[in-house]
Amino acid sequence: MNLTNYHSHCSFCDGHAPLEDFVKAAIAQGFTSYGISSHAPLPFSTRWTMDWSQMPDYLAECRRLKKKYAKEIELYVGLEIDYLNEDSNPAIDPFRNLPLDYRIASVHLLYDDNDEVVDIDCSLDKFRTIVDEHFDGDIMRVVCLYYKRLFRLVDLGGFDILGHADKMHYNANTYRPGLLDEPWYDTLMHDYFAAIANKGYMVEINTKAFHQLGTFYPNQRYWNLLKELGIRVLVNSDAHYPERINNGRAEALRALSDVGYTHVMELHQGCWKEVAITLS
């Protein structure tokens, strides 16, 4: 039943429980393969990312749990790495040299006109304030900046899975209703997914907000396109709470099957494999 998840946080970053609690929850729910992907360090401290000083403990704890639960579940260690700028992204050596099983790449941050870092992966209210106060209400510019960074991330490489590929769409489309139907935006998305397909990355179907907001990332309207482009997908819950590791997974698998996907990617015996979708 494709009980896997590779996008999961824990108390090493902004997750709300120790790593072992996520592993125990995965075992209790019959998951066969599970990966931890704490937010990778940035050049500055934040409340949601790890610091480099924590890295040895993070890797050691993953190793300990892999061993402890080897008979019950396949455990993997990854990171969710941000594209911040040319000096801090998944392609740089400090990340490439880590002994990780896989890497997720995401964009959460933009620079405003004053070169100040702003976090656009936020609530709708906060997003409105940021667009209005940091970008003079120019949502089109914010959208373009966001995807420009994602294009650069895709170009630079150093990762396996693209995380929540169009996450900003929900806030942006609420800020400007109808945005997703605007031709320029649609063209941008087609170019974006074509670039991703060209590089051969896996794209996650991120289910984190499905129960609250009713949308996946990427938005379901692009799944036919993903299929046409031959993009391999996997279903990830981006869980920050152990009780949410399975949220939206069955719904995502059904919706993938509806657009013609027959397989999802799973990590088994250390290799990414295409596994047939089994609907519950």
| Site residues (vs Zn ion, CB under 5 A) | 80, 106, 238
Q: Quick one: 6 or 135, whose CB is closer to Zn ion?
A: 6
Q: Is there a contact between 96 and 156 (Cβ–Cβ < 8 Å)?
A: no
CB atoms within 10 A of CB 24: 17
Shortest separation between residue 177's beta carbon and Zn ion, angstroms: 25
CB atoms within 10 A of CB 125: 9
Shortest separation between residue 273's beta carbon and Zn ion, angstroms: 23
CA distance 159 to 197: 14
Q: Quick one: 54 or 257, whose CB is closer to Zn ion?
A: 54
Per DSSP, the chain holds a count of helices (H) and strands (E) of 10, 11
Closest Cα to residue 6, out of 95, 101, 145, 118? 101
Q: Quick one: 192 or 217, whose CB is closer to Zn ion?
A: 217
Shortest separation between residue 169's beta carbon and Zn ion, angstroms: 14
Shortest separation between residue 122's beta carbon and Zn ion, angstroms: 12
Closest Cα to residue 168, out of 116, 119, 203? 119
Shortest separation between residue 153's beta carbon and Zn ion, angstroms: 12
Q: Is there a contact between 96 and 160 (Cβ–Cβ < 8 Å)?
A: no
Residue 111, SS3 per DSSP: strand
Q: Quick one: 33 or 106, whose CB is closer to Zn ion?
A: 106
Q: Quick one: 11 or 230, whose CB is closer to Zn ion?
A: 11
Q: Quick one: 61 or 238, whose CB is closer to Zn ion?
A: 238
Angle at 4 between CA 37 and CA 240, to 5 degrees: 40
Shortest separation between residue 119's beta carbon and Zn ion, angstroms: 11
Q: Is there a contact between 159 and 201 (Cβ–Cβ < 8 Å)?
A: yes
Q: Which residue has the tokens 């990830």?
A: 236
